Structure formats: structure tokens, C-alpha cells
Structure 1
Amino acid sequence: MIIGIDLGTTNSAAALWRDGQPVLIPNALGDMLTPSAVSLTADGALLVGMAARERQATHPRDTVTAFKRHMGTQQIATLGKRGFNAEELSALVLRQLKADAEAFTGEPVTGAVITVPAYFNDRQRKATRRAGQLADLKVERLVNEPTAAALAFGVQTREQEPFLVFDLGGGTFDVSIVEVFDGVIEVRASSGDNRLGGEDFNERLIDLARPRLQPQSALDAADPVVLHELLRAAAERARRTLSDANEAEFAIVLDGKALSTTVTADAFEEAAAQLLQRLRDPVLRSLRDSSIRVEDLSEIVLVGGSTRMPVVRRAITRMFGRFPNATVHPDHAVALGAAVQAGLLARSAALEEVRMTDVCPFTLGVDTAEPDGRGGYRTGIFSPIIDRNTTIPASRASYYQTVSDNQKQIHFGIYQGEARDVAANVKLGEISVPVPRKPAGQIGVECRFTYDSSGLLEVDISVPGTDVTRNLVIVDDADAMTDAEIAKRRDALAALKVHPREQSENAAVLARATRCYEAFLGDQREFIGRWIGMFESALEAQEPRAIHEARQRLVDALDSVEGERFL
């Protein structure tokens, strides 16, 4: 069975194609969203999902979130005595989603379609594939997140006019312009910003509120790691409140003292002005690349939990001169689209008339030299071969000549990016081809790039008039792993003590209750403490029905204090 997975910065979700439609897969708590969070308990067990997220404010050094932003880097997060990179942490989340899918369907999951931000580069995409391998999943395809959302929207509506998918999640921002015609869902252009999302808006709220919290001496004396998590949680609550109100309380409890201030929607919008401005550039780039005018767009489709923010919706309305389409569930669309892609791969009869095309999100090219006007050459200049937003699969060729007399070979560095200087782009690999020794400019070679829908880049170099050819399939040599190395790392993750899936709901509720107990004071704290004690007594009695009833009473009590839990 192949499932679709939205591996998100803040939350992840899984879905499958069943009975002619995409179906979301609930986790052990019955939720459709699983927080992308990992935490280590005192007894050395790893928690994944909501139970881990609830521990972030109370155990910041034992919990890690937003690791998707470090995908493809060597940044290490330490939990206990072990370090984890982003792909290993992502593998733990993927493994949890795989277990949830198998529990939901009663069938083994063998493969997955995993979504990635449209602007993920080659290194980040390969890291995502490795995360899938470490989770014991065959990654059938990586699909751009806005493309997946467009697939869900396009299959649902069969919209005939071009529409724009505006995808603002917890950590990334993507835009795609899509057309649907005669069952073909065609992505015309994609653009985005890998460092822009809801977490950045939280930071602006923190910058706004922190100077107003008194006394400042209490903040200065606090553990900075603990303080930041308290502020982050308060910002998330305030941001959520501002979705429905004109002002919100920004409150933390630090060393038993309540510190609070009020933030208004207008002040938040002013503080976030720079972030809102950054939403414009990817939109303009995608419109330019697709040669589609704003007035020709039939819909502006909102995707991603951060599009719920009124400040974002107002910015979109001003940008396009119309109200956006909010009919697609912002948190579910990407996972549902991944499930549609899984259905396409499985050749579902219900999708026989549906075809999808995607685009190359980055320009691909080589480094070259150009005359410097003084008789020499300036090196390190990027020469594009496949332009960004070219429909894939694509094959393009360019021709290059020698630049010095009796040159023995031509060396190409393979790059991905948009900068003129290759040093500012991402190097994917390199290849050399021997050439006959002749005066400069008399020997030319053909360099052909072939890029397919799975993100594989093949480079072919040939010297016309000779039998000399060279071929390179781009592999990330710095991080490439053999099958044995993958198996070894997979076994190491499997050997970790992971909290039982069946107990996830109890762990999540207890973690939430602990966080609430530390966040409130006075009668509310006493009230929460009593309900925690009753729940812990039920757990010790090990009677399933009593545990279920006590857990529900505790959840109701927590909801009455802080409102219903919001993913």
C-alpha cells in the first residue's frame, strides 16, 4: 500500500486513496494532524507527536520541533546523550505516520509519496528521501507541496481557469500557478521562501510583547532556553486569539510569577509588516514566469495553517484585489493531494482521466568563464541550461568552447540556483571531458541536462566529431549512503526506546496538563493539580475504563481553563 504524507514543519499528516477519493488517516489520538515534534522522557523513551509538543514549554532541552528547517544540513539536535540530525528526526515522525496508517487500514505500508516545499533544493530533497528510507518506506515520489494542494483542489473542482495556490505553513512559504484542462493538471510556475512561516510571525509577536513584560529583571535572570519556549508558547496562544479578536493577552508564568501584557491586531500587523512584504516576491516571480496576469487568475486558494491569520488574509486581499478562496481545508489539502498522487501511481480507475505535470523549481546550469575585457577570463559565472519553472520531464542542451590554447579537458561544475555567481548557488556535482589539443575556441562540447519528475538530474557531455562522451547522474556525494549504511542507521533508530503508540493519548494529556499547571497560578493551578492527581491514580489502577473516564474529565478540565487544544 502506498500512502501520501505531508511532512510539515509544525504538523504532519497522512492520507490514502480509497474508494475513488483521498482519505485522511487519524493518529492514535484520533487527530488528523500529528505535530512534527520529538521529545525524550526521564526514563529514556522517545515521544513523537502531540505528547512531545506538549512537553516543549516544560522540557525545552529534551524536546525538538521545527527541524524540517534544517533538512539537508549537518545541524545536530541533542536529546539525552544522543545527537539527531533533521532527517533522523523526520524519520521518527514518518515512522509514526506509517504505524498510524497500518493501524488504520490493517495493511502493511510499503511506499509513500512525500511532499516537500517547492523551493527545497537538491540537498534538502535527498535528505527527505533518506528520512523516508530510515523510516523503512520506499519513497515513490517527492511532490512539491503547492502542487499536491493544487492536485487536491483540481481533482475536486476541475477548475478550467488558472488558479494560484498560496501555501503558508509553519516554516515555509510556497506559491504555484496551476491550470486544469481536459483532465490535465498543469503547474505553470512555482516559487517560494524556505525561511518564512508561522514561526516567524510568532517571533515578531515575541519582539512586540517582550519589552512590555515587567519586571524586565525577571526575564534577564531567567534561563534563556526555558524563557524562549515560554515566550514562543505565549505567542502561539496570542496569535491564535488574534484570529478572532482585536486584542489578545500575552502571558507567561516565570518562577511562580505571572507576567502579562496586551497586544492588539493593529500592532501585530505593524510588527509583521516586513514578513508580509516578503510574501509578495514569490507571487510576482511565479506570475512573471508563467506569463499569467493577476486578473486572469480564477481563484487564490489558501493552504497551510498560517493562512488563517487575519493579517495574512488582509495582505492577500490587498495583493490580489479580491478575497481568497478558503474552501479547501488549509491543514489537510497537501496530504490529500499526496494521496491523489499515490492513487495516480497505483493507476486508480477513478483517476484514469487525470494527468499532472510539474515544473523544475530551480534553474540548473554549469559554471563557465567569460572575457574580462583585459585579455583574460572571469571564472565562476553561472550558465543556465534548464530554466526554473520549465515543465518536466525536460531535456535541454547548451554548447561550450575551450578558452585556452592546447586545453586538455573541459571541466563543468553542476549548479542549482538563480545567482549569476555560482558561489551563491548550490553545487550538485562536477564532471570533466577530455578534448583534443587545439587553439582556444576551436573545440566545442555539448552539455545536455535531463531532469525528470522524480527530481533526478542526468548530465551528458559529448565532443562533436569524436566518440568521447561522459555521463553523470547527480548523486549527493557528501551525504550519499550505501544500502548497508541505511540499514545500520535504520536499525539504530529502531533500537531506540519509543513510547508505545497505544499509550500516546495518556502521555499527551499528561504533558498538556503539566504544561498548564506551570502556566497558570492560584485557583486555576490548584484546580488542574487535583485533576492531574485523579488521572494519575486511575493510571496506577490500570483499569482501562477508569483511565478513559479520568482522561476525559482531565481534558474537559483543561479545555475549561485554556480553551480547546488547537493544532
Structure 2
Amino acid sequence: MVTLAIDLGTTNSLVSCWKDGEVHLIPTVFESYLTPSVVGVDDKGAIITGAPAKERLRTHPDHTVAAFKRAMGSDKLFKIGSHILRAEELSSFVLKSLKADAEAWLGTTVTQAIISVPAYFNDLQRKATVAAGRLAGLQVLRLVNEPTAAALAHGLHESESTFVVLDIGGGTFDISIMELFEGIMQIRSSAGDNYLGGEDFVDLIIKSIADKHAIQLEKLTGQQLAGFREVAENLMKTVSTQQSASYQLVVNETIDGVLTRQEFATLSEPLLQRVRQPLERAIRDAGLKKQDLNAVVLAGGASRMPLIRSLAAQLIGLIPTSSQNPDEIICRGVAIQVGLYERDASLEDKVMTDVAPYSLGINVHNEHADKKEYQPLFSPIIERNSPVPVSRSDVYYSMHDNQKSISFNIYQGEQRLAKDNIELGTMSIAIPPKPAGEVKVEIRFTYDINGLLEVDAKVWNTDIHEQLIVQGNSVMSNDEIQARLASLSSLKIHPREQLENTYIMMRGARLYEEALGDIREEIGEKLSFFEAILNRQHHEEIKEAAAAIKAFLDEVEAALKV
């Protein structure tokens, strides 16, 4: 049985597999490896995903949603048309689309996958990703950290070296440091920011232009905001290859302007500061110095920005390598992880180790705090960037005379106050009644490569022992997942074999909205003609007409960008 390797991204997602001793990226129905992580509904109420949905972001913003990965593991709800959906459910539609593309390419049904997640995804976000897989009909065998996957792709054919992976995608930023020696690929440390990515740089451009031209964003319609965002995205891409870029906005009136690369760099300084901090922490946690690093590997579409490359070179003193496509490197690495998981013979001399991205611990009494101001402190048992699997223990004492039990919460995070970390579970153990401080309880945390945490509590000098497998406070229980599976199965999903024609119609509708005069009229005539051919349902005629209108729309798109 084939196991899929999936990079579930904020902006784009990809699917691949490990076959015949090598990575195979799997194309979409549009012959691209990238599936936009966008979900919407068409005019008939059917769910559409990927490129067709992305086209409707501009024309039908109330019926389309993107960048929902950031809400994984939260209670945030998204409205598309008449549907109210969670981020897990939206992600499941992207996964279903990838699964369908893979099954068409492989010629067989697939039910298993390994999926990448940001290294700094917490327990709730990771469990939400597994839930999305289940909703898509996939058993998620393992989650692999995105920079770890990129490091695998880079390091598979490398000799001994120590390098850093900077992974900045649409919505998240991660760093991992990997050491290669004698066939062992060891992650030394990871760090990151779950709310820093290309989308944030686009937001800066939008705010800057709005301030410059006194545009009140809150008063714009959904279509105007979508158009504004598209302009900002194009500006960010253009100033990544040129020194300046002009723009034109139609917001009640026509607005013209220019954004220079230097202006963009100045605007981006607060975000670049947020890149520096995790990088410095990762190097420090790895017990290394900058001069110990041999290479800088970039992953994620936003890493193409010159200011990211310049910052990496400035902070580390090395020119980043560009030997692999940053959009594809993570998915390629996940496929290698599939090969390692399946113990493929071509990888038998390779071993990979990873680290726990967050500290794990419990809440303890703050003996110095005023009773009125009392707030429990966080006591780490497994510290972040400990190699996994790992087992650590610490000893704690009773607080009160004749205390009958000790109860504590289990947390994930780095904050001093327990409440500021992510709560994963609760545990209690009976203790013999004795004077305060005389009962000792050893608490052991064991954390495995799949992110499963086992907690053991043992009262010293007794036979009292308790054990807990921490499943985490998942935002979707098994019953909820089953209920949502039943509900989602009733939703109509646009047929895959019709997606290419649907994409043409939606792309044409977007360009019709953007164009003026004779070009606009010609687009309308071409779309009406193509729609009539679709209704006749003659396969060869549709195929010929689709090729012709696609070429026409390519010319229109190029003309509108000039």
C-alpha cells in the first residue's frame, strides 16, 4: 500500500510519494505540483478546492476562504456561502483534493499519509492536523516537522555537515539545525513563530498603501479588499526581483503609486526582528556558534524574498543555498520520511532523529507568592529541543500536613506562569497523610517520536503508582470527528474531472472583472462561447475550445500586468 507524503501549507499544499527508491512529486489535474490551500463554494453550492477556488477569492470573497491553517486547533469558525466550517474541515478538503490527485496518478486507492506540520505547532494544532486527515479519509501515520523534512531533502546526499533550515511559508516560520554524520541525520534544535509568514508581509504593504492614500480599510467591500490584497501580493513578488514596482487600485477612485524595494525593507523591519530571535535561540539551544554552521537551506515560498536571504547571510555569515525549489523541498523531505518509516532498502544506512519542539512540565506552588496573588509556576520536566524519544523525571513534595493526594496539570510551553502555557491534561495520585514536605512523588515524562506523552507518578517508599497517556485536549473528540464525517459526506464536492473547465470559467470571470472596454467585452464573448460548448458535452470539442480560451486568457493576464 502506498503512503502519501503531504506538505499541508498555509498558501499552497503538495503531495508526493516514495517509490522505486526516489521521491515522486504528484501533479494536480492542472499539471502543477502546487495546490492552492483555498476552499470555496461555486454557484451551485458545491465545494471547490485549489486553483478554481483561488480564482474566486477576488470575485466571490464571501464564498471563499484561504490562510486557515493558522486557525488549526482553535475554535475559530469560517463562513463560506451557507456553510460554517472549522479549520480542520477546510484542511480536510485540501487533503481530499491531494488524495484524489494521487489516486489518479497512482491508479490505486490510498488511505495512509505522513503529513508535515510547522515545528512550532503545539499539541492542539498537531492533533487538529491528524483530525483533518481523518476527515479526509486518511490515517495519519506520523507528523513530521517542516524544517526537519526540508533538512532531510537537503541532507540525503550530503556528506558530514551542520546546517540550518529557515522555513518561512505563507503563515508560519520555523528553524531547525541539523547535523549529519556517519549516516545519522540528527536535528539538534528547532524554534519558530506560528504567526509569521508571507501573509504578514502582504499585510504590511496593504497598511502602508492605505495610510499613504488615506484609505479606510474597514469601509471597503469584500471584493475591494480581495482586490487590494491581490495588488499587494503582486507588489511583494515584484520588489523581490526588481528595485521598484508600480501599482494601480480602484477603490471608489483610481489610485496610482510606486513601492520600492528599500521602502519594503523598511516596512518589514519589525517582522525581520521576529526572524532573528528564533534563529538565535535555535543556535543557542543546539550548543553551537554561528561559525559551526556549514550551510543555510531555505524552504517555503516567502524565503524567495531578497530581504530574507540578506538577513540570513547577515546573521549567519553564509550565502543561503538554492539547490532545491523552496516550494517543493518540504514535500520531498516528507517523502523521504515515508521511505524511512517503511524501512526502504535504499535508505537502510540512514537514521534520522528529531527533537521535542516545546518544553513539557507541570504546575507547582510558588512558595514566595502572596496568597492573594498566588499563581502556579511552570516546572519543566522535558526541556525543549531534547532528542526524542526521551524520558526525564523530577521529584516533588507535599505542601500541607496530612495531605491525601497531589493533583497537577500537564503543560506544554516556555512561559514562567503555568497558565500561560498549553494545558494538555490533568493527573492525581493518592499519598499517605504525613507532615508537609515529607511525601516525595517522582513524576516521569516519556515522549516518543510520534508526539505521544506518557506520564508516570510514583510515591517514594510506597507501592502507589499512577500512569497517564496524554491524548491532549483535542478540539475535536472522536465522537465529534465521526459526526462531522457524516455531515461533510452530505456536502457536494465539485467533480475532479470537471475542475479544469471550472477553473477556466472562474479565471475568466476574474479577468473580466479586472479588464475594461474592448478586452472586457471580448472576455465575456469567449466565456459565453465556451459555456455553450460545455453544455453540448462533446469531449473533443470541449478539449479544443479549452486549449484556445486558456491561451487567450494567458495573453489577457500578461497584458493586464504590463
Structure 2 CA distance for partners of 1:375 and 1:343, relative to 1, 3 Å: closer
Cα deviation, residue 313, structure 1: 1.6
2:414 counterpart of 1:413 = no
Q: Distance in 1 between matches of 2:480 and 2:228?
A: 40
Change (3 A) 1:549 1:319: farther
Alpha carbons 1:253, 1:520 under 8 Å: kept = no
Q: Aligned partners of 1:356, 1:308: CA distance in 2, in Å? A: 27
Q: Secondary structure at the match of 1:99?
A: helix
2:240 corresponds to: 243
Superposed displacement of residue 373, structure 1: 7.2
CA pair 56-149 structure 1, distance change in 2 beyond 3 A: same
Q: TM-score, normalised by structure 2?
A: 0.96
Aligned positions of 1:93-492 closer than 5 A? 93-155=94-156, 157-213=157-213, 216=215, 222-223=220-221, 225-254=222-251, 258-372=254-368, 378-477=374-473, 479-482=475-478, 485-492=480-487
Deviations 1:452-495 (A, max 9, x none): 0000011010101111111111123453523x543332232122
SS at match of 2:551: helix
Which deviates further from its counterpart, 92-101 or 518-527?
Answer: 518-527
The 10-residue stretch of structure 1 (233-242 or 376-385) with the greater mean CA deviation from structure 2: 376-385
- Report the residue type matching 2:102 in the other structure: A
Q: What is residue 547 of structure 2 aligned with on the other side?
A: 552
- CA 1:195–1:209 in 2, change beyond 3 Å: closer, same or farther? same
Alpha-carbon distance change, 187 to 565 in structure 1, aligned in 2, over 3 angstroms: farther
How many angstroms does 1:143 deviate by? 0.5
Contact 2:301 2:326 (8 Å CA) reproduced: yes
**Retained in 2: the 8 A contact 1:3–1:111?**
yes
Q: Is the 8 A contact 2:381 2:394 kept in 1?
A: yes
Further displaced range: 170-179 or 334-343: 334-343
**2:364 is paired with a residue of what secondary structure?**
strand
**Which deviates more from structure 2 when the two are superposed, residues 73-82 or residues 360-369?**
73-82
How far apart are the structure 1 equivalents of 2:265 and 2:555?
A: 29
Q: Aligned equivalents of 1:32 and 1:340: distance in 2?
A: 17
Asked if structure 2 preserves the Cα contact closer than 8 Å seen for 1:252 and 1:519, the reply is no
| Structure 1 residue 263 displacement after superposition | 1.1
**Distance in 2, Cα, partners of 1:113 & 1:391:** 20
- Equivalents in 2 of 1:548, 1:259: separation in Å? 40
Q: Secondary structure at the match of 2:223?
A: helix
Runs (4+) of structure 1 exceeding 4 A deviation are 373-379
Q: Corresponding residue for 1:60?
A: 61
Distance 1:208 1:456 in 2: 44
Three-state SS of the structure 2 residue aligned to 1:465 is: coil
**Post-superposition offset of 1:377:** 9.9
Percent sequence identity is: 44
Question: For 1:416 and 1:10, how far apart are their aligned partners in 2?
Answer: 27
Query: Take 1:209 and 1:16, find their aligned partners in 2: how far apart are those partners?
Result: 43
Secondary structure, aligned partner of 1:64: strand
Contact 2:75 2:475 in 1 (8 A): no
Measure the CA separation in 2 of the matches of 1:522 and 1:102. 44
Letter in 2 for 1:120: F
Q: Secondary structure at the match of 2:190?
A: strand
Partner of 1:40: 41
Contact 2:423 2:473 in 1 (8 A): no
Equivalent position SS for 2:56? coil
Distance change >3 Å, CA 179–CA 428, structure 1 → 2: same
Q: Deviations over 1:399-432 (max 9, x none)?
A: 0001111111111110000011011110101101
CA-to-aligned-CA distance 1:338-391 (integer Å, 9 cap, x gap): 111111122211111111100000000000013217799954101010000000
Pair 1:41–1:128, CA change in 2 (3 A): same
Decide whether aligned partners of structure 1 residues 500 and 252 sit closer, same or farther in structure 2, where only a CA change above 3 A counts. Answer: farther
Question: 1:176 and 1:323, CA in 2 relative to 1: closer, same or farther beyond 3 A?
Answer: same
Any idea what the Cα deviations from partners look like across 1:107-159, whole Å, max 9, x if unmatched? 1112100000000000100111111111111100000000011111111x323
3-state SS in 1 of match to 2:408? strand
CA separation of 1:165 and 1:565: change in aligned 2, threshold 3 A: farther
Amino acid at match of 2:399: V
| Cα offsets for 1:44-102 (capped at 9, x unmatched) | 11101110011001111100111100000011111222210000111111111111111
Distance in structure 2 (CA, Å) of the matches to 1:71 and 1:135: 15
Secondary structure of residue in 2 paired with 1:228 = helix
- Kindly state the Cα deviation for residue 558 of structure 1 after the two structures are TM-superposed: 2.5
What's the offset of the Cα at 1:213? 4.5
Aligned letter for 1:180? L
Give the aligned residue type for 2:494.
Answer: H
1:231-284 Cα offsets, whole Å, 9 max, x none, are 1111111112222211112233446x6433221111111111111111101100
| Cα separation, 1, equivalents of 2:547 and 2:209 | 34
| Contact 1:369 1:377 (8 Å CA) reproduced | no
Contact 2:365/2:377 (<8 A) preserved: yes
Over 3 Å counting, the alpha-carbon distance change for 1:475 and 1:143 in structure 2 is same
Whether the aligned pair in 1 keeps the contact of 2:116 and 2:143 (CA below 8 Å) is: yes
Return 5+ residue gaps in structure 2 as ranges. none
What is the distance in 2 between the residues matched to 1:565 and 1:326?
31
Contact between 2:3 and 2:113, CA under 8 Å: does it hold in 1?
yes
Long gaps (5+) in structure 1: none
Residue in 2 aligned with 1:531?
Answer: 526
Secondary structure at 1:518's aligned position in 2? helix
Deviation at 1:290, TM superposition (A): 0.1
Structure 1 residues 130, 469: CA separation in 2 closer, same or farther (over 3 Å shift)? same
Specify the code of the residue in structure 2 equivalent to 1:66.
A
In structure 1, how many angstroms separate the alpha carbons of the residues matched to 2:369 and 2:229? 54
Report the alpha carbon displacement of residue 212 of structure 1 after superposing the two structures with TM.
4.1
Counterpart secondary structure, 1:250: strand
Report how many aligned residue pairs link the two structures. Answer: 560
Q: Secondary structure at the match of 2:57?
A: coil
Matched, 1:493 2:493: no
